[in-house]
Structure 1
Amino acid sequence: MRFRSTHPDTVLQPAPSVPDTMRAVVFDGPGDPEALHLAEIEVPTPVLSEVLVRVVAAGVNPIDAKTRAGRGLSGAISSWPVVLGLDVSGVVVRAPFDAHPFPVGTEVYGMATVPRTSGSYAEYVVVPTLSLARKPSSLSHVEAAGVPVAALTAWGIVVETALAHQGQRILVHAGSGGVGHFAVQFAAYFGAHVIATGSPRNLEWLRELGAAEVVDYTSTRFEEVVSDVDVVIDLIGNVSDDTGTRSLEVLRPGGLLIEVPTGAWPGFREAAAERGIRSTDYKTIPDGGALATITRLLESGAVRVYVEHVFELDDAAAAHTEIERGHTRGKIVLSVSDD
C-alpha cells in the first residue's frame, strides 16, 4: 500500500530508477562562455535533508556568468570541474524519508547551493529541503525555473528590507530585468508608488507590471525628473554611467539605498553616509518559506514571471553570451529534460 504524505494532495510514488551518470554542462576554469561544455559526470548523492531532483529546467542568472568568468561565487570553488546553476524546477526522485514534505514524485522549484554542491545545469541536482517549494501548478517548469533567485532577491529587497508599503516612493533601476521585474511587481502589490528606469521597448511593459512612473534611461537622466524618493533599488551600480552615485541625488534625507550587484560600487556606504542616507547591500536568501509565499502570488495572478529566452542544455554558452549583453527582459532559462 502506498504511504500518504503529510501533504493532502500527494500520494507517494515508487522511487524511480536513477542512473549513475548524467549529462551536465561544466567548466574547468575561469573563462569566456565557450568555457562551458557538455560532459558525462556522476549523479550527485543527497545527504541529510537534501533531496535529489530530476531537473526539467534551470534558470540562468548574472551570478552564473560572473562565477564562470572568475568573479561572483568563484572564490568558494574548491575543485574542478564545476556545474553552475542556482535555479531549478523539476521532480523529486529521492527524498530523505517517506513522510518528507517533498516526497518522490513532487514537482518542486528552488535554489541549489552552487558551488558548495553541483548546480542545475545538469539532469539531476541535490537541493536542501529548506530551499525548495512546490512548483506553482499554473506555471510550466520553464517558467518556474525563472522564478527562485530573481523573485527571492526581489522579495528580500522590497518586502523584508525596504518594507514596501502604501505611499512609499520606490525607484527601481533596471526594472525590466530578472530581479527588476519582480521588484516592480512586489513594490506595487504592497502599495508603493513605483518609479522604474528602462529602455524604450520596455516602458509600456513596466507600466503593465505596476510602475506608476517610468523613465527612459536612453533619453532622460532620471535625477532630472525624479526626486524625494524613499528607497532606491539599484540593480546597476556604477558600472554604467554612475547610476549608483546619481541615485543619491534623488533620495530624501534618511532614505535608503539598496545596492545589489556585487562589486559594482565599492564605496557606496561612505558616499551614502556623507549625504545622510542609509544604505545596505543584499545577498539572496534561499528561503523555501518565502518562495512558498511567492508561489501563492503567482498562482493568484498577482505576480507573473516573464521568460524571454529558452536555450537547450547543450547551448548554455549561448545563454551566457545573451545574459552578458545585459538587456534581457525578464529571465533566460535552460530546457534540460522532458516534463
Structure 2
Amino acid sequence: MRAVAYDEYGRLDVLTTRELPDPKVGPGELLVEVRTAGVNPVDWKLMSGGLDAMMEATFPIVPGWDVAGVVRATGPDTPEFEVGDEILAYARKDWVHGGTFAELVTVPVRAAARKPTDLPWNVAGALPLTGLTALRTLRALRVGEGDTLLIHGAAGGVGRIAVQLARLLGATVIGTASTTNHDRLLGLGATPVTYGEGLADRVRELAPDGVSAVADFVGGNLDDTLAVLADGGRHASVADPSVEQHGGHWIWVRPDAAELQWLADLAGHGELTVDIAGTYELDQVAEAFARSQEGHVAGKLVIVVSEDS
C-alpha cells in the first residue's frame, strides 16, 4: 500500500510517501480502505516527538488518527460490520505506528461508527477527533439546560463543534475569538467576545453572576477561567493539565463508537456542521502539516486518499 511515514522523530522533512506492507487484521479489527483522513495538530506533535514520554512508538510510523473509508476485510469476532460497509473512526491505538495517512489502515471495532449516506466523505474524515474532543469535554462539564458556558477558542475546529453541541444541549454560549470570527460565532448561536487582555471583564459584562462552566480548547487561560467562574462552576481544558490542581478536568479524548455515531448522525442530518478549510492529496501531507502549524486555520484540513471520495 502507499502511505506517508517517518522513520525518526523530526520536522516535516522526515515525512516520505512510500510503499509499505498491507496491515494485518487482528481479532476485533477492520481493514479499512481509506477515503479521507483528517489532519489534527496532534499528528505533527507526535512526529516531533512531543508525546514520546506518554506513548510507545514503533517505527516506521504512519501518522493520522482520523479516518473515513470502506471496510475491505474483517478480523475474527467482528459481527458489527461487513465488507463494503462505510465507516468513520477515531482510530487511535494503544501505541503509535499504523495511522490513517495510507491507502489501508486497521481500525478497532470499538472505535468505528457507520457513515450516514448523506455525510460527505470529507466531513466524515474530519469529524472524529474534533467532534469527540468537544463532546467529551461537554460531558465532563455536565453541560445542559440553564448553563452559561464560556468556550476559550470557540472559533477553532473543536470550539466550533462545541458551540453547536452546547446549544443543542440547551446551554447559553459565550465564545472567545478574534473579531474576524465574531460573525461566524453569531451564526452558530454563540455570543462572541475578543480574547486577550481584559477578557474577564468583558465576560462579566455578559454574565454578571459568572458562568456555570468553562471549556478551554487553547490553553493559557486559567486565570481568566477562575475569574469568571460562578460559585460551584465547572471547568475543563484539553490543553492545560494544571486545571486539575484547581478543581478542573484535563480532557484527553478516547475512541468511543457510540458517541461518534451520535455525532455522525447529527452531521448527516444537517444538525452539526464541520468546516473544511482545505484538502490535500496523500503526497501533500507535509504541506497540510505546515499549514496546520501556522495556526488559526478556519476549519479542518483533510487528506483525500481515494478519488472515490
User: Do the two structures share a fold, i.e. TM-score over 0.5?
Assistant: yes
Which residue matches 1:224?
201
Partners of 1:197 and 1:290 in 2: how far apart? 26
CA contact (8 A) 2:27 2:78 kept: no
In the superposition, relative to structure 1, how do residues 24 and 281 fare at CA in structure 2: closer, same or farther (>3 Å)? same
1:282 counterpart = 2:259: no
1:293 counterpart = 2:270: no
| Structure 1: 5+ residue stretches without partners | 1-21, 273-277
Deviation at 1:33, TM superposition (A): 2.0
CA contact (8 A) 1:64 1:72 kept: no
Single out whichever of 319-328 and 44-53 deviates more from structure 2. 319-328
Partners of 2:53 and 2:276 in 1: how far apart? 26
In the superposition, relative to structure 1, how do residues 170 and 250 fare at CA in structure 2: closer, same or farther (>3 Å)? same
1:326 counterpart = 2:295: yes
| Structure 2: 5+ residue stretches without partners | 205-209
1:269 to 228, 244, 264: 244
Which residue matches 1:248?
226
User: What is the letter of the counterpart of residue 269 of structure 1?
Assistant: E
Partner secondary structure for residue 31 of structure 1: coil
CA RMSD of aligned residues (A): 1.8
1:233 counterpart = 2:202: no
Partners of 2:292 and 2:88 in 1: how far apart? 21
Identical positions, percent: 35
Partner secondary structure for residue 59 of structure 1: strand
Paired residues, number: 302
Runs of 4+ in 1 over 6 A off after TM superposition: none
Which residue matches 1:257?
235
Deviation at 1:99, TM superposition (A): 7.6
Task: Give the TM-score, by structure 2 length.
Answer: 0.93
1:48-85 CA-to-partner distances (Å, cap 9, x unmatched) read 01000000111111111111111136642332110111
In the superposition, relative to structure 1, how do residues 331 and 165 fare at CA in structure 2: closer, same or farther (>3 Å)? same
CA contact (8 A) 2:116 2:268 kept: yes
1:304 counterpart = 2:273: yes
In the superposition, relative to structure 1, how do residues 110 and 70 fare at CA in structure 2: closer, same or farther (>3 Å)? same
User: What is the letter of the counterpart of residue 252 of structure 1?
Assistant: A
CA contact (8 A) 1:51 1:126 kept: yes
CA contact (8 A) 2:65 2:90 kept: yes
Partners of 1:78 and 1:223 in 2: how far apart? 41
CA contact (8 A) 1:63 1:73 kept: no
CA contact (8 A) 2:60 2:97 kept: no
Task: Give the TM-score, by structure 1 length.
Answer: 0.85
Partner secondary structure for residue 223 of structure 2: helix
In the superposition, relative to structure 1, how do residues 75 and 163 fare at CA in structure 2: closer, same or farther (>3 Å)? closer
CA contact (8 A) 2:34 2:69 kept: yes
Deviation at 1:305, TM superposition (A): 1.1
Is the helix fraction higher in 1 or 2?
2
